[in-house]
Amino acid sequence: MHTSTVWFRRDLRLIDNPAFHAACASGGSVQCVYVHAPDEEGQWRPGAASNWWLHHSLLSLDASLRVLGGGLWVLRGDSLPTLQHLLSVTGGDRIFWNRRYEPAVMARDTRVKQVLREQGIEVQSFNAALIVEPWQVQTLQGNPYRVFTPFWRNASARVTQCLPQALPDSISLLASARIPDVETHTVESLGLLPTIPWDQDFKAHWQPGEDGALAQLDEFLDAAVSRYSRDRDRPDCDGTSRLSPYLAWGNISPRQIVAAIHARGADDPGVVERAAAYIRELGWREFSHHLLYHFPYTVEKNLNAAFDAFPWLEPQAKLLSAWQRGKTGIPIVDAGMRELWQTGWMHNRVRMIVASLLTKNMRCHWLQGARWFWDTLVDADLANNTQGWQWTAGTGADAAPYFRVFNPVLQGERFDPEGHYVKRYVPELARVPTKHVHQPWMLKPGEQESYGIAGSVYAKPLIDLAQTRAEALGAYQASRHGPR
């Protein structure tokens, strides 16, 4: 009687989970394990918000496994020796997992795979996270893509082939048990939750785990998907999928999402067409993983080396912390940063606006922003985060040119025209009339007084948009032409 081990990582679901499916299909009993080894992810170990999501996802996975007669084996320690010990104790001779694409994790997985195979253990890895794995598409010259449009022209052909696996027919799970000579762990004992209760709003906004993912997908398909192309840029509307953290943790797969859209299309053919703009966003996620795999150095270095000479400024601690905590005095920027701090998530349009402010007006290195997002986002994903920041900073693939500086006032007026989003997260502005809600500093002093913002940072922002924009463009010019 075989025992097959499934090593769960960022694939915390049971449906359309190829490693779990293969283990169930291989006969014998299935042992589901999570090994907590954050050090192995180096600089990019999960941050505080991610750990919150991870905690609840693990609980949810454990509960689902218990319903099926098993449970999640929770271990802690270096992955290789921990897995070796587990397999030796339980007599397991095959192990399955789903692939990850972060450079540090790939290096670890390669080594784990090699050593276990040398010991005679059957090891198989699978694709659970992507529609197109990074090596499955290339340019006609045989190179990786650096531009989104040709990448997606090629890769999107596979969208129609998305066939997620259902829950396996036959599941025979090993209940989790104490392992000799190993410290006992539960999800709780991993210490993933905050010690001070800053996660109140997180609980109100999110239900981490597979059940939550499926519920969120249903909600998206019932409502926002049909108006996605119109509302996705509107942070004042509930116009996005809000599936990003579920994707980041593998509570759901992109294949499942695409298949669900096509399934709805059987009843309502318009849905597929209206969802095209959303599927394109999934394409950006695929593109990010393609870039991360082929250019792993981009997690800390510019993809475009021409920017290596760019004169980023060392941020003043006060200004950086004002940006982080939403106290710059620029309404839509502060609203976004507070949304992030309070809920672990930020609307994508607003992410671009706050990132433009940091990298262009404040002229901070994009890594400063990437690290903050990494710690505070529940959907922190190394591929998306790296790509997103390099794109906005102008240092990345197919990037916004450096001189494309977002004006937060115009962006606010265009995408939050009534100021509802700004007022939700910046209550100081509650009484400011719509006309001035995105530039309250333009109100006359008497008006600032009567609307309750006199003497506040909203009467005099920490950043002069016009001046810093001009300075940033000057620095860009100077670095392009080199020192004289």
366 is catalytic: yes
Nearer to DNA, 114 or 477 (CB): 477
Binding status of residue 281 toward DNA by CB under 7 A = yes
CA–CA separation, 256 and 457 (whole Å): 46
**Per-residue x/- mask for DNA, residues 375 to 404, rule CB under 7 A?**
-------------------------xx-xx
Q: Is 355 in the site for DNA (CB under 7 A)?
A: no
Contact in structure between 425 and 334 (CB atoms under 8 Å): yes
Q: Does 148 bind DNA (CB under 7 A)?
A: yes
Three-class SS of 251-315 = CCCHHHHHHHHHHHHHHCCHHHHHCHHHHHHHHHHHHHHHHHHHCHHHHCCCCCHHHHHCCCCCC
| Shortest distance, position 354 Cβ to DNA, whole Å | 13
φ and ψ at 72, to 5 degrees? -90, 125
Which of 75/472 has CB closer to DNA?
472
Nearest distance from C-beta of residue 404 to DNA, angstroms? 4
Residue with tokens 């100077």: 478
From 405, 389, 415, select the one nearest 335 (Cα to Cα): 415
Q: Is 312 among the residues known to form the active site?
A: yes
Q: Does 231 bind DNA (CB under 7 A)?
A: no
- Nearest approach, Cβ of 356 to DNA (angstroms)? 8
Q: Is 281 a catalytic residue?
A: yes
391: Cβ contacts below 8 Å, ≥ 6 apart: 397, 398, 399, 400
Please state, in angstroms and rounded to a whole number, the distance separating the CA atoms of residues 349 and 355: 10
Could you confirm whether 348 is annotated as catalytic? yes
Residue 410 sits in the site that holds DNA (CB under 7 A): yes
Burial of residue 235 (CB within 10 Å: 0-12, 13-18, 19+) is buried
Q: Which of 53, 389, 391, 441 is catalytic?
A: 389
The yes or no reply on residue 311 touching DNA (CB under 7 A) is: no
Query: Which backbone phi and psi does 415 adopt, to 5 degrees?
Result: -105, -10
Q: Does 349 bind DNA (CB under 7 A)?
A: yes
Least Å distance, CB 330 to DNA, is 13
Binding mask of the shown chain, residues 411 to 440, with x at each position contacting DNA by CB under 7 A: x--x--------------------------
Instruction: Exactly one of 122, 133, 154, 348 is catalytic; name it.
Output: 348
How deeply is 254 buried, as exposed, middle or buried, from its count of CB atoms within 10 A (0-12, 13-18, 19+)?
A: buried
244 touches DNA (CB under 7 A): no
Question: Can 53 be counted among the known catalytic residues?
Answer: no
Query: Which residues lie near DNA (CB under 7 A)?
Result: 148, 233, 281, 284, 348-349, 352, 400-401, 403-407, 410-411, 414, 466, 469, 473-474, 476-477
**Which residues are catalytic, by number?**
281, 284, 312, 348, 366, 389
